[in-house]
Amino acid sequence: MDRFRMHILICGGTGCKASEADGVKAALRLSIEKNGMSREAQVVTTGCFGFCEQGPIVKVYPDNVFYVHVTEKDADLIVKEHVVKGRPVESLMFHDANDGASISEHRSMPFYQSQVRIALRNCGIIDPEKIDDYIALDGYQALAKVLTEMTPEETTKEIIDSGLRGRGGAGFPTGVKWETTRKAQDDKKYVVCNADEGDPGAFMDRSILEGDPHSVLEAMAIAGYAIGANEGVIYIRAEYPLAVERLNIAISQAEEYGLLGEDILGTGFSFKIRLNLGAGAFVCGEETALLNSIQGTRGEPRVKPPFPAQKGLWDKPTVINNVETYANVCPIINNGAEWFRKTGTDKCPGTKVFALAGKINNVGLVEVPMGIKLSDIVYKIGGGIRNAKKFKSLQTGGPSGGCISTENLDIEITYETLQSVGSMMGSGGMIVMDEDDCMVNIAKYYLDFTLEESCGKCTPCRVGNTRLYEMLDDITKGRGKMEYLDELEQLGEVIKDCSLCGLGQTAPNPVLSTLKYFRDEYEEHILHKRCPAKACKDLLRFFVIPEKCIGCTLCARNCPVSCISGDRKVVHEIDQSRCIKCGECFEKCPKEAIARE
Amino acid sequence: MLQTLQSADGSNDRPTDEFDYASLDRYIDSLTDKRGALIPVLHKAQSLFGYLPVEVQSHIALKLDIPSAKVFGVVTFYSFFTMKKKGEYKVDICLGTACFVRGAQKIADALCRELNIKVGEVSEDGLFSLDALRCVGACGLAPVVSVNGKVYGRVTEDDVKSIVEEQMVKDGERR
Amino acid sequence: MSKIKSLDELKKIREEAKNSTSLRTTGENPDRVVIKVGMATCGIAAGARVVMGALIDEIARLQLENVSVMATGCVGMCYAEPIVEVHTPGRGVIRYGNVSEKLARDIIEKHIVAGELLEDVIVGREA
């Protein structure tokens, strides 16, 4: 038999690799060989399936059976039962959290049902290290189409008509960017891809680069043709080694095929792409800071205007889009602007990829139509809150975004609606928080992040955010005053108004939004020196409930600072002066005899 | 001058380290366009030497013909570059939001206790260093700790001890 | 790898590459026709492996895009092995018995492509 009758796909994304997917792959290959199926079944590494919570994930075609939490030990079972005998292994299938039923096809999972995959269309289906896989699924057809059938004007118009907006933050219309750059007169222009995905908890760009790198390369070449550039630069985080590796492979394969380089498809159009590694500065996600970083200097933002479309990289007209935006370009060219507009809302056509994480059952990457309700993402796709806890807040937009409370969960997601509730789209991080999360502490966490990442160029951001942080720190440590609340608000507004770049302009959002929706938590910290979520260590006290303590000594033995005294079968006591409030005793006590207040 | 720069960063460069610049120089010479080359060169140098003390920075400045103040400015701006030598086992704790809300701070505290160093420090024997990272993108496995690039997911406070011990055993075998 | 110099060459490569990924894209299609071959011990002993090979080969030769071939377990009619079932969405199941390599190719050409049932060798039907 020369053709494989079965393809076993295993996720090669960072999430699954971290949960030992490589070992599973090796075990599957070994087992296939041992069972004499080498000529019938093939193991393929692919990009992220999005369902990272359940990794490592294995998918078997043609049956389209989806296995979760696969370990090396399971490899033999899958091969012997499913591959050899055609009997899918039920115990490894995904089990519905609500009714416990096993679900074999991923299509039937609630996690996938509400999703529409445009940007992630090839992730989890193709082998990202094989250009042929990409070509088979219409890869490089869009580039061929614009080069042979469309003028640069028509190409730009198609993108304008589609209504595609930048997926990296503020949602500026992509086509308008292209049009401005196309019209700029210069001998040299650049196409830049912003792959400096720095939002903690957002990993959609990484997944696209790891799972479908060619889709970004092809779109950049199309942008180059549209604006009249023949050089592209991908600015990518050095923290994404796997994405860097896959991009390098993809670039060299595309060059070998002549789909990048000189005289592409004999049309006379030339385009080359190189990678530029970032060095760990969040502010470089801001487009002008990113350009400075490519130029080898400190990544400090520039004053706009002039915009990059007029004076960008090396002062030449430059188009900058992020990874997800580029991933939408080829389907638009292939299927037309009208097709793209059928998904999403009128003002925000298409889809958005969100990285759903935090206290949610189904952590993963989801691509949903714009205009879907937040609550649908949390409850239908995300499967609700972990450990049956109570939902408290949804944070979107990372350090630039805000915390959305229950009353706003029914809004339909667009750039505008998120802003109207004090948050923003950002790159698409979505962190779910439950009753155990203290909103003051979360605001402090984000400010700590911004402080560290502020480049220091503007005073409101550098000094103002420091002052905000100090006040929050005081509040979480029981030193807060009620005047702080007004001060936080006022200063926050000043920082928003007076900062030069997006980082400063949005940095106070986590504070302002939590103040607006969770003011009672702030007041509780200040007035009663109490943290309702029991998260602020300095406001907590651990003590032994004498009636419940059986004197088992477990807490004393586990206390890292040995501040618990008491003999066997005698009630123990915690020395408050030495207690570091690590909570170890609270978790270890078999009788729930440690109280936390 | 060098002295001031060092104390500004509070780093503890040991001047005894010897640097073999041959491979770095070959890399720099191979660059056709030196415009904007500083960051790639620093990446290369850090991958060769493990860190970027002032001595190395000065060498790069001379080689690229740019002021060493500019090199220092860039090195200190980007968190990926370090002027301190890291431990043999580089322990990173992810403090991205997804890990944070799933208790990464507790894991960080436990690591500090276990290694007896603070975040950002190197142990006295030079074996371990501990740093905080912002998101490795394995949010499904939160909280996450990585040791020399190997990722440990869903880490609990109890796991911390065994993760550290695993490295000690490895180190013992290696010697 | 050699350079692709024209649109036609790109199309040619796409057609060739499709053969290796069609198994996956077809698997994603909920409306696909599924052909199941009994691959339990008795099926394999009776020659199911050769039958399966012929089915896959024929589908690839005719470039049928909406047909998947899968292995399945024993259906209990060991006397009629190798057994091939054709599952067409909305049109039930047709089960053929004693399938030879030649018959397998006929099933593809007549049943799948032309829509004619091979009445003589049907051993069972389900709605």
Closest-CA distance, B62 to chain A, in angstroms, reads 16
Domain containing C85 — which CATH number?
Answer: 3.40.30.10
**Spatial distance between the Cα atoms of A487 and A565, rounded to a whole number of angstroms:** 44
Is C10–A266 a contact, with Cβ atoms under 8 angstroms apart? no
Indicate if the pLDDT at residue B7 is higher than 60.
Answer: no
**Best CA proximity match to B83, nearest among B42, B111, B114:** B42
**Spatial distance between the Cα atoms of A66 and A6, rounded to a whole number of angstroms:** 14
What six digits make up the tokens of C72? 């399945």
CATH architecture, domain defined by B2-77: Orthogonal Bundle (1.10)
Give the pLDDT mean for A342-356.
95
Give the pLDDT mean for A401-420.
94
Instruction: Say whether residue A543 is in contact with chain C using an 8 A CB cutoff.
Output: no
Q: Which of A175-189, A475-489, B131-145 shows the lowest mean pLDDT across its residues?
A: B131-145
**Spatial distance between the Cα atoms of A202 and A401, rounded to a whole number of angstroms:** 13
Domain that holds residue C92: 7-126
Do A30 and A62 sit in the same domain of this protein?
Answer: yes
**Best CA proximity match to C71, nearest among A37, A552, A589, A548:** A37
Domain that holds residue A105: 6-109
Side chain identity at A134, as an amino acid letter?
Answer: Y
Q: Which of A66-75, A122-131, B9-18, B75-84 shows the lowest mean pLDDT across its residues?
A: B9-18
Indicate if the pLDDT at residue A107 is higher than 80.
Answer: no
Q: Give the alpha-carbon dihedral of A464, A470, A472, A477, to 10 degrees.
A: 180
Q: Which of A66-75, A463-472, A576-585, B20-29 shows the lowest mean pLDDT across its residues?
A: A576-585
Is B79–A584 a contact, with Cβ atoms under 8 angstroms apart? no
Identify the pLDDT of residue A226. 98
Q: Which of residues 76-115 of C touch A (CB under 8 A)?
A: none
Instruction: Say whether residue B144 is in contact with chain A using an 8 A CB cutoff.
Output: yes
Identify the pLDDT of residue A1. 39
Is A132–C13 a contact, with Cβ atoms under 8 angstroms apart? yes
Q: Which of A5-9, A23-27, A529-533, C36-40 shows the lowest mean pLDDT across its residues?
A: C36-40
Q: Per mean pLDDT, which of A84-88, A166-170, A482-486, B30-34 is the most reliable?
A: A482-486
Cβ-based burial of A202 (10 A; exposed 0-12, middle 13-18, buried ≥19): buried
Indicate if the pLDDT at residue A595 is higher than 80.
Answer: yes
Indicate if the pLDDT at residue A14 is higher than 60.
Answer: yes
Do A210 and A329 sit in the same domain of this protein?
Answer: yes
Q: Which helix (H) or strand (E) holds A429?
A: strand A429-434
Question: For chain B, what are the domain ranges?
Answer: 2-77, 89-174
Q: Label residue A96 by pLDDT band (50, 70, 90).
A: confident
Closest-CA distance, C126 to chain A, in angstroms, reads 20
What six digits make up the tokens of A357? 């994480």
Check if the beta carbon of residue A186 is closer than 8 Å to that of residue A317.
yes
Average pLDDT across chain A, whole number: 93
In a domain, C1, yes or no: no
Q: Which of A415, A434, A453 finishes a domain?
A: A434
Q: Do strands A94-95 and A351-358 pair parallel, antiparallel, or not at all (unpaired)?
A: unpaired
Q: Residue A494: which residues within 8 A CB-CB, separation 6 or more?
A: A460, A464
- C69 contacts on A by Cβ (under 8 Å): 5, 62
In a domain, C2, yes or no: no
Instruction: Say whether residue C24 is in contact with chain A using an 8 A CB cutoff.
Output: yes
- C34 contacts on A by Cβ (under 8 Å): 62
Closest-CA distance, A459 to chain B, in angstroms, reads 17
CATH architecture, domain defined by B89-174: 3-Layer(aba) Sandwich (3.40)
Side chain identity at A382, as an amino acid letter?
Answer: G
Neighbours of A486 (CB within 10 A): 10
Please report, for residues A97, A187, A368, A413, B7, the alpha-carbon distance to residue A376 in angstroms, rounded to integers and kept in the order given.
Answer: 16, 49, 10, 11, 54
Q: What's the pLDDT tens digit per position in C69-95?
A: 988 877 777 788 899 999 988 888 999
Q: Which chains touch C (3 or more CB pairs under 8 A)?
A: A
Paired residues of A41 in beta bridges: A6
Check if the beta carbon of residue A77 is closer than 8 Å to that of residue A28.
no
Instruction: Say whether residue B31 is in contact with chain A using an 8 A CB cutoff.
Output: no
Contacts 24+ apart (CB under 8 A), A466-470: A467/A491, A468/A492, A468/A495, A468/A508, A468/A511, A469/A444
- A435 contacts on B by Cβ (under 8 Å): none
Do A311 and A164 sit in the same domain of this protein?
Answer: yes
Identify the pLDDT of residue B2. 42
Q: Which chains touch B (3 or more CB pairs under 8 A)?
A: A
Out of A52, A364, A431, the one facing B97 most closely (by C-beta) is: A431
**Spatial distance between the Cα atoms of B149 and A198, rounded to a whole number of angstroms:** 18
Indicate whether this complex's ipTM tops 0.90. Answer: no
**Spatial distance between the Cα atoms of A490 and A484, rounded to a whole number of angstroms:** 10
Paired residues of A114 in beta bridges: none
- Rounded to a whole number, what is the distance in angstroms from the first to the last CA of chain C? 50
Nearest CA in chain B to A281: B78
Longest CA span, chain C: 56
- A132 contacts on C by Cβ (under 8 Å): 13, 16-17, 20
Domain containing A558 — which CATH number?
Answer: 3.30.70.20
Q: Which of A320, A341, A362 finishes a domain?
A: A341
Domain containing A367 — which CATH number?
Answer: 3.10.20.600
Identify the pLDDT of residue B6. 44
Instruction: Say whether residue A132 is in contact with chain C using an 8 A CB cutoff.
Output: yes
Do A423 and A452 sit in the same domain of this protein?
Answer: no
Identify the pLDDT of residue A402. 93
The total domain count for chain C is 1
- B151 contacts on A by Cβ (under 8 Å): 17-18
**Spatial distance between the Cα atoms of A398 and A501, rounded to a whole number of angstroms:** 16
Is C4–A9 a contact, with Cβ atoms under 8 angstroms apart? no
- The residue that leads in pLDDT, A170 or A416, is A416
Q: What's the pLDDT tens digit per position in A416-452?
A: 999 999 999 988 999 999 999 999 999 999 999 999 9
**Which strands form C122-126's sheet, in the order they lie side by side?**
C67-72, C33-38, C84-88, C92-96, C122-126
Out of A206, A277, A364, the one facing B40 most closely (by C-beta) is: A277
Is C3–A257 a contact, with Cβ atoms under 8 angstroms apart? yes
Give the pLDDT mean for A444-466.
94
Do A483 and A566 sit in the same domain of this protein?
Answer: no
Closest-CA distance, C2 to chain A, in angstroms, reads 6
Indicate if the pLDDT at residue B12 is higher than 80.
Answer: no
Average pLDDT across chain C, whole number: 87
In a domain, A52, yes or no: yes
Q: Which of residues 104-143 of B touch A (CB under 8 A)?
A: 106, 109-110, 113, 133-142
Identify the pLDDT of residue A74. 94
Do A356 and A288 sit in the same domain of this protein?
Answer: no
Out of C4, C56, C73, the one facing A257 most closely (by C-beta) is: C4
Identify the pLDDT of residue A547. 92
Do A554 and A491 sit in the same domain of this protein?
Answer: no
Do A140 and A88 sit in the same domain of this protein?
Answer: no
**Spatial distance between the Cα atoms of A154 and A258, rounded to a whole number of angstroms:** 24
Q: What's the pLDDT tens digit per position in A209-240?
A: 999 999 999 999 999 999 999 999 999 988 88
Chains B and A touch (3+ CB pairs under 8 A): yes
Nearest CA in chain A to B70: A297
In a mutagenesis test of the C interface, which of A10, A60, A63, A218 is the best target, namely the one with the most C β-carbons within 10 Å? A63
Identify the pLDDT of residue B16. 53
**Spatial distance between the Cα atoms of A235 and A275, rounded to a whole number of angstroms:** 6
Indicate if the pLDDT at residue A528 is higher than 90.
Answer: yes
Is C10–A64 a contact, with Cβ atoms under 8 angstroms apart? no
Out of B70, B97, B138, the one facing A14 most closely (by C-beta) is: B138
Give the pLDDT mean for A300-324.
96
Is A445–B100 a contact, with Cβ atoms under 8 angstroms apart? yes
Q: Which helix (H) or strand (E) holds A193?
A: strand A190-195
Indicate if the pLDDT at residue C40 is higher than 80.
Answer: no
**Spatial distance between the Cα atoms of B4 and C71, rounded to a whole number of angstroms:** 73
Q: Label residue B14 by pLDDT band (50, 70, 90).
A: very low
Rounded percentage of chain C residues whose pLDDT exceeds 90: 31
Q: What's the pLDDT tens digit per position in A233-291?
A: 999 988 888 899 999 999 999 999 999 999 999 999 999 999 999 998 999 999 999 99
Closest-CA distance, A41 to chain B, in angstroms, reads 29
Cα C116 to chain center, whole Å?
Answer: 15
Identify the pLDDT of residue C92. 87
In a domain, A494, yes or no: yes
Do A193 and A321 sit in the same domain of this protein?
Answer: yes
Do A189 and A208 sit in the same domain of this protein?
Answer: yes
- The residue that leads in pLDDT, A580 or A404, is A404
The total domain count for chain A is 5
For helices A323-335 and A213-227, what crossing angle results, to 10°? 70
Do A275 and A320 sit in the same domain of this protein?
Answer: yes
Q: Which helix (H) or strand (E) holds A355?
A: strand A351-358
Check if the beta carbon of residue A353 is closer than 8 Å to that of residue A220.
no
Is A442–B109 a contact, with Cβ atoms under 8 angstroms apart? no
Identify the pLDDT of residue B4. 42
